[in-house]
Amino acid sequence: MERSERERMRGQRIAGCAMAGMLFMAMTACSSDQPKPLAQPTPDQVRSHADRTFEKLKQEEQGRPSQPPALQ
């Protein structure tokens, strides 16, 4: 092979790789779904969750002694 023919084939290989890379990137970018944002809780849901958590905390505190034992 002549040098110019080798250079031409090398250029074609580089162009082919570049086109394949761009095609791959385009296919993966178009096929990926955007993540959906989480639904925001309503004020009633937040209040209900806070009330349940507060009740659990009160129950835990009632089961504990008022003063923690001293460490020795």
Q: Which residue has the tokens 């209900």?
A: 48
The amino acid present at 25, given as its one-letter code, is M
Is 0.75 topped by the overall pTM? Answer: no
Per-residue pLDDT tens digits for 37-71: 888 999 999 999 999 999 999 998 888 766 655 66
**Ramachandran class of 23: left when φ > 0, alpha when ψ lies in -120 to 50, beta otherwise:** alpha
Question: Cα-atom radius of gyration of the chain, to the nearest Å?
Answer: 33
Q: How many residues does the chain have?
A: 72
pLDDT over 90, % of the chain = 25
Alpha-helix residue ranges (DSSP H) falling in 1-72: 3-31, 43-63
From CA 16, how far away is CA 22, in angstroms rounded? 10
pLDDT at 23: 82
pLDDT at 52: 95
pLDDT at 1: 58
